[in-house]
Amino acid sequence: MVSAVAAHLLFFLVSVNLIPTTPILEERPFQAAGGGIGVALVKSRKRVFPVPHTEEPSLISEAYGYCNTPNRTEQAWEGHSPADYKLLSVQVMIRHGDRYPLYSIPKTRRPAIDCTLSISKKPSHPLMKSFISHMDQGGRGHWESPLGSVPRLPNHGVCEMGELTQTGVVQHLQSGQLLHQAYKRHNLLSFDWLPRQVWVETTGKSRTLQSGLAFLYGFLPDFDWTKVTVRHQWSTLFCGSACDCPARSRYLEEEQRRQYRLRVADTELEKAYTDMARTLGLATRQLRAANPIDSLLCHLCHGLSFPCVPTEDSGTGGCLTMAQFAVIRRQQLDDEVDRRRVGLYHKYAVLAMYPYLNRTATKMERVAKGSEAGRQPRAGGEEVFTLSSAHDVTMAPLLSALGLEQARFPRFAARVVFELWKGPSMTPGQPKKRVGKGDKSKAKDGELFIRVLYNGEDLTFYTTFCRSHDRHASQPLCPLKNFLSFVRRDMFSIFNTTSYQEACYRRPD
Ligand SMILES: *[C@@H]1O[C@H](CO)[C@@H](O)[C@H](O)[C@H]1NC(C)=O
Ligand SMILES: *[C@@H]1O[C@H](CO)[C@@H](O)[C@H](O)[C@H]1NC(C)=O
Ligand SMILES: *[C@@H]1O[C@H](CO)[C@@H](O)[C@H](O)[C@H]1NC(C)=O
C-alpha cells in the first residue's frame, strides 16, 4: 500500500462551483488541479520527499493511481490501536467510485462503457450477485426525500453522464468489506445493531447514493433494510443548516481568479489546447469549456484509447495524444503547488468544512459521554457508525481543513475515517466503583483519543491538531481534546478570530 501510494501521487483541485447556492452542485474536477506529495511518505517511514516529476511517464502513473483500479488487495490501518483500547465510534466519508465522464468532448464519440451490473463482467466482486438482489429490496428502507426516487443501482447499457460504473461499485464493495474486517474484532456493531447506531447520508446524485449502498453492503452484508434510513445532504459541503458564510464565497472567488491567472500564463498548456482543438476542428474556447481531461481520464481508467476524428481536407483530424494529456496534468501539478503557497484555498476549506467537522466532533462527544463509567447505556444505542457519501469537492476541502494539504487529491472511492478510542481506565488495582454524576473519580475513566485515516493510512500525526503532539508510550494516540479545541476555536486562528460566525461575517478590511 505504501509503495502504491508512492507510485500514484495525484492531486487535482477542484474548481468552480463549490458554493452551495443550488441544491446539488456538479463536480467539476480537473479544470484546475495540481500535484504534490503523499503525506504518508514523509516522516515516519523515513522516506525522502520525492521531487515532483514533470516527465510524462510519472504523470501517467499518477493518473492510474487516481483510477484506483480494484485489481489488488489493499492494506488498511483502520482499527489498529494499542491493546486495551476500546473503539467507541467510526465516522467515514467516502468519495463515489469510478464514474462516467461529466462532460463529453464535442465531435468525438463518447467512451463505450456499459453501466449495468453483471457478475460476468470485469472487474467483479464475490458480493456482486447478492448485492444486486439485496438492492432490489431497497423499497423496504427509509429514504429521505428526494432519495427514494434515485435508482439504487447503475442501470444504463450506455452509461449516462456521471453515472457510477461497475468498477465504482466494486471499489466500494471492497472498501466496505475491508472496514468490516478491520472492525470485526472490536465489536463496533453487533449482529443485531439498532437503527440509531448507523447513520447514512448522501448527496442526491445517483453515483453517491449507489456508492454509499455498495460500501454499506460490504460493511454490513445482508443488512436489514427496515433498520436503515438514508439521509439527504443537499449541499456537497454537507453543511446542513449552517451553509451561509459570505467569507467562504469570497475566498473561493479569489482562489478561482488565482487558478485562472496561472492557467492563462502557461504557454505550454495554451499550445496543447490549441493543438487539440485544431485536431477536433473546434474553437479552443469550446474545447476548454468541455473540460477534456475528465473524459480523457475515463478513457485511461478503462483502457480505452483516446478519441480520434477522421482526417479532413481542412487539416483537422487525428487523435488526442498522451503528450497533450500529460501537459494538462503537469499544469494541474503546478497549480497544486501554487494553491498551497497562496493559501486562499485553505481558508475557503476551513470555512467550508467547519459544519461537517463540528457535527463530527459533537457526535464523538455524545458517544464519549454515553461510554462514561457508571452510565446506563442509552436506549436505542449511540451513533457508533456514520457514513457520508460525498464528492471530491467535499473531500478535498476536508483534507485541507485538517491540515492534510500534502495529501493527494481524492481518487475514485477515496475514504477519510475518524475513529474514536477510549484508553484503559487509569486506576489499576482499584476495583471499579459505580459513580454518580459529578463524582471526582469519574476523571479516572479512560482517556479519549482520535485517529484520522486517509485511504487506509494513519495520518493523525500530520493533522494541524496533532502534528506537534508529543507521542510517548503512555499516550500513543492523539487526544480527542486536541481535535475538539481545534474545531471549536483554533481552526479560526488563521482569520484572527475564534469562531465560525466571526470568520464568516466579519467585513473584509
Ligand atoms: C492494476 O491496474 C493498473 C491500471 O490498469 C495497472 O497499472 C497495475 O499494474 C494493475 N495491478 C495489478 C496488480 O494487476
Ligand atoms: C456546532 O455544534 C454545536 C453542538 O456541539 C451546536 O450547538 C452549534 O450550533 C454548531 N455550530 C454550527 C455553526 O453548526
Ligand atoms: C491576522 O493578523 C495578522 C497580524 O496582525 C495579519 O498579518 C493577518 O493579515 C491577519 N489575518 C487576517 C485573515 O485578518
| pLDDT tens digits for range 372-430 | 877 777 766 788 999 999 999 999 999 999 999 999 999 999 999 999 999 998 765 55
pLDDT value at position 191? Answer: 83
Contact 61, 241 (CB under 8 A): no
Of 130, 212, 216, which Cα lies nearest the Cα of 179? 216
Looking at the domain assignment, is residue 208 inside a domain? yes
Nearest ligand to the CA of 4 is 1
Q: Is the CB of 412 under 6 A from ligand 2?
A: no
Please check whether residue 366 lies inside any domain of the structure: yes
Measured between alpha carbons, how far is 353 from 379 in angstroms, rounded to an integer?
31
In this structure, the residue with its CA closest to atom 2 of ligand 3 is: 496
Do 307 and 227 lie in a common domain? no
Nearest CA to ligand 3 atom 14: 495
> Does ligand 3 come within 6 angstroms of the Cβ of 215?
no
Q: How far apart are the first and last CA of the chain?
A: 47
Q: Is 392 a catalytic residue?
A: yes
Which residue puts its alpha carbon closest to atom 13 of ligand 1? 72
Q: Output the pLDDT for position 379.
A: 66
151 and 299 belong to one structural domain: no
d(CA 401, CA 420): 19
**Residue 360's domain spans which residues?**
67-236+347-422
Considering every ligand atom, which ligand is closest to the CA of 492?
3
Residue 54 located in a structural domain: no
DSSP per-residue letters across 270-328: HHHHHHHHHHHT--HHHHHHT-HHHHHHHHHHTTPPPPEE---TTS--EE--HHHHHHH
Instruction: Please tell me whether residues 337 and 351 are part of one structural domain.
Output: no
The verdict on 208 and 116 lying in the same domain is yes
Same domain? For 216 and 324 the reply is: no
In a 10 Å sphere around its CB, with 0-12 CB exposed, 13-18 middle and 19+ buried, how is residue 375 labelled?
middle
107 lies in some domain: yes
Could you tell me if 504 and 498 are in contact, meaning their C-beta atoms sit under 8 angstroms apart? no
Q: What CATH number did the domain enclosing 384 receive?
A: 3.40.50
Q: What pLDDT score does 57 carry?
A: 76
CA proximity to 131, closest of 204, 221, 253: 221
Nearest CA to ligand 1 atom 7: 64
Q: End of a domain among 341, 365, 385?
A: 341
Looking at residue 123, what is its pLDDT? Answer: 96
- Residue-level pLDDT, tens digit, the chain, 509 residues: 333 333 232 232 222 222 222 223 333 333 223 222 233 222 333 233 344 445 677 888 889 999 999 988 888 999 999 989 999 999 999 999 999 999 999 999 999 999 999 999 999 999 999 999 999 999 999 999 999 999 999 999 999 999 999 999 999 999 999 999 999 999 999 888 999 999 999 999 999 999 999 999 999 999 999 999 999 999 999 999 999 999 999 999 999 999 999 999 999 999 999 999 999 999 999 999 999 999 999 999 999 999 999 988 887 889 999 999 999 999 998 999 999 999 999 999 999 999 999 999 999 999 999 888 777 777 667 889 999 999 999 999 999 999 999 999 999 999 999 999 999 987 655 544 444 444 444 446 889 999 999 999 999 999 999 998 877 766 789 999 999 999 999 999 999 999 999 999 987 76
Is 170 inside a domain boundary? yes
User: Does residue 180 lie in a domain region?
Assistant: yes
**Type of residue at 496:** N
Pocket test for ligand 3, best of 496, 498, 506 (most atoms within 8 A of CB): 496
Bridge-partner residues for 416, per DSSP?
Answer: 93, 454
One DSSP character per residue, 399-467 reads HHHTT-TTSPPP-TT-EEEEEEEEPPPS-TTSPPPP--TT-GGGGGSPPEEEEEEETTEE-GGGSTTTT
Are both 78 and 226 inside the same structural domain?
yes
Same domain, 266 and 302: yes
Residue 142 forms part of a structural domain? yes
Together in a domain, 184 and 99? yes
Question: Best of 3, 64, 67, 302 to mutate for ligand 1, by most ligand atoms within 8 A of CB?
Answer: 64
Burial class (CB in 10 A: 0-12, 13-18, 19+), 229: middle
Domain boundary among 277, 311, 341: 341
Number of domains in the chain: 2
Return the residue whose CA atom lies nearest to atom 11 of ligand 3: 495
Torsion of CA 496, 500, 505, 509, to 10 degrees: 20
Task: Find the 241 Cα to ligand 2 centroid distance in Å.
Answer: 10
**Ligand 3 near 66 CB (within 6 A):** no
**Statement to judge: residues 206 and 272 lie in one domain:** no
Instruction: Give domain status of residue 32, yes or no.
Output: no
Among residues 341, 373, 402, the one where a domain terminates is: 341
Confirm or reject: Cβ of 242 under 6 Å from ligand 2.
yes
Write 434-442 long-range contacts (CB < 8 A, 24+): 434/373, 434/374, 435/373, 435/374, 436/374, 442/372, 442/373, 442/374
Size (the chain), residues: 509
Which pLDDT does position 509 carry in this prediction? 64
Does one domain contain both 410 and 275? no
User: Is the same domain home to 300 and 266?
Assistant: yes
| CA of residue 300 to ligand 1 center, whole Å | 12
Q: Which of 294, 334, 392, 458 is catalytic?
A: 392
- pLDDT given for residue 43 in this prediction: 31
The verdict on whether 98 is a catalytic residue reads no
The predicted structure's pLDDT at residue 265: 96
**Domain check: are 410 and 303 in the same one?**
no
CB atoms within 10 A of CB 379: 7
